[in-house]
Amino acid sequence: MSGNITLLRGLSPAATEQEIYAAAQEYVRKVGGVSGLTTATKAAVDKAVAAIAAATTQLLAELP
């Protein structure tokens, strides 16, 4: 996995929605092997980024 994905847990102040979204984008790009969006990939990438951002937000909220 990439070392470019920023650690979001324990930040002070807490990670912003933009930081969470950026980390989700990087994750999807790495896992999906997508370096640029095309009309063929945009919908799938956007859907995956939204799902991962939501899961990340929930995870950070539930961790001590």
Q: What is the pLDDT of residues 8-59, one digit of tens each?
A: 998 888 899 999 999 999 999 999 999 888 999 999 999 999 999 999 999 9
Q: Quote the CA–CA distance of 25 and 46 in Å, as a whole number.
A: 8
List the alpha helices (DSSP H) in the chain: 17-32, 42-62
What is the value of pTM for the model shown? 0.85
The per-residue b/e assignment along 18-42, b for 16 or more CB within 10 angstroms, e otherwise, is eebbbbbbbbbbeeeebeeeeeeee
Q: What is the pLDDT of residues 2-20, one digit of tens each?
A: 566 788 998 888 899 999 9
Read off φ and ψ for residue 37, nearest 5 degrees.
Answer: -90, 140
